[in-house]
């Protein structure tokens, strides 16, 4: 999410606002997000339609990974899809947790530094019956560097990792935030690539996790470059299709 301005962060830290205020802010943000994102032109390329939770042929669950800077797109495009999203316990993620709630997503709070063990246990339990959504470079970066948590979860739960790459046409960026958060321009192009299933072997040894982490990192990097290049060009790619929002259509169609 974009960096919260310093005066606002200081106010919220001093005042410790009630939960109802957080919910109100989250409601305003999700309404604004829905209006903003509805102006974009969407196309998607899916390696395997059965990994799309909005597709009638969905064969899940899965662990979806996408960079932190692109987090609005999955929230907007795939609400109410039996997804559980991992968010940090940092105060900057408080609003985002309520945004996700209003989008019909479940939220698990925690990270590698705060609440990590408890969050991991909860994600394991959620992953037994629903799909998981993780920003593997969040909550504090480094930008576009995939952490090992999703590898462990995939191996433990034996459900595949599915990389999601997003590209916008000349987006505005928050250069002061660690992730250079991307704001798509209204009425611009958005292109998404839903990657292939990346299956981890069961019970990966600790010494082997880095090998698989690099594999997933390379897949997401490659797809991100393709999606960003696609968004800059006016021509289409073979096999792509219009991408519809889940609440409007049951699945994506040509």
Does residue 251 sit within a domain?
no
Does residue 231 sit within a domain?
yes
Does residue 1 sit within a domain?
no
* Six token digits for residue 38: 């509805």
Q: Do 148 and 210 meet the contact criterion of CB atoms below 8 Å apart?
A: yes
Does residue 254 sit within a domain?
no
Strands 83-87 and 131-134: parallel
What DSSP character marks residue 200?
A: P
The CATH number for 32's domain is 3.40.1130
Residue 250 CB neighbour total at 10 angstroms: 11
Number of domains making up the chain: 1
d(C-alpha 215, C-alpha 132), whole Å: 19
Does residue 218 sit within a domain?
yes
Question: What is the residue range of 137's domain?
Answer: 6-242
Does residue 249 sit within a domain?
no
Give the pLDDT confidence score for residue 122 in this predicted structure. Answer: 80
pTM of the entire structure? 0.86
Q: Give the tens place of pLDDT for each residue, 126-183.
A: 777 889 999 999 788 899 999 999 999 999 999 999 999 999 999 999 999 999 999 9
Q: Provide the CA 77 distance to its chain's centre, in angstroms.
A: 11
Q: Do 43 and 241 meet the contact criterion of CB atoms below 8 Å apart?
A: yes
| Segment 74-93 mean pLDDT | 85
Residue 231 pLDDT > 90? yes
* Six token digits for residue 138: 């969040």
Does residue 149 sit within a domain?
yes
What DSSP character marks residue 103?
A: T
Q: Could you give the strand order of the β-sheet that contains 41-46, starting from the edge strand earlier in sequence?
A: 106-109, 83-87, 131-134, 63-65, 161-168, 189-194, 41-46, 241-242
CA nearest neighbour of 179 among 135, 147, 221: 135
Q: Give the tens place of pLDDT for each residue, 47-77.
A: 999 999 999 899 989 999 999 999 999 999 9
In the chain, the N- to C-terminal Cα span, in Å, equals 31
């Amino acid at each position: 999410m974009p960096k919260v301005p310093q005066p606002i962060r200081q106010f919220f830290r001093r005042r410790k606002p009630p939960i109802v205020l957080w919910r109100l802010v989250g409601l305003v943000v999700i309404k604004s997000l829905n209006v903003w994102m509805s102006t974009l032109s969407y196309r998607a390329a899916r390696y395997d339609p059965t990994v799309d939770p909005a597709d009638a042929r969905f064969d899940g669950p899965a662990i979806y990974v996408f960079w932190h800077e692109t987090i609005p797109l999955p929230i907007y495009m795939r609400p109410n899809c039996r997804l559980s999203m991992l968010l940090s316990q940092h105060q900057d993620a408080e609003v985002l947790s309520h945004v996700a709630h209003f989008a019909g997503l479940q939220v698990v709070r925690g990270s590698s530094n705060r609440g990590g063990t408890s969050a991991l246990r909860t994600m394991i339990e959620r992953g037994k019956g629903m799909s998981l959504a993780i920003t593997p470079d969040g909550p504090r970066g480094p930008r576009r560097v995939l952490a090992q948590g999703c590898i462990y979860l995939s191996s433990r739960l034996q459900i595949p990792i599915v990389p999601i790459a997003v590209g916008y046409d000349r987006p505005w960026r928050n250069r002061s935030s660690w992730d250079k958060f991307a704001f798509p321009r209204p009425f611009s192009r958005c292109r998404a690539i839903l990657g292939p299933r990346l299956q981890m072997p069961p019970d990966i040894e600790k010494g082997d996790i880095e090998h698989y982490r690099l594999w997933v990192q390379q897949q997401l990097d490659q797809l991100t470059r393709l999606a960003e290049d696609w968004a800059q060009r006016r021509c289409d790619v073979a096999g792509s299709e219009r991408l519809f929002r889940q609440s409007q259509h049951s699945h994506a169609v040509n």
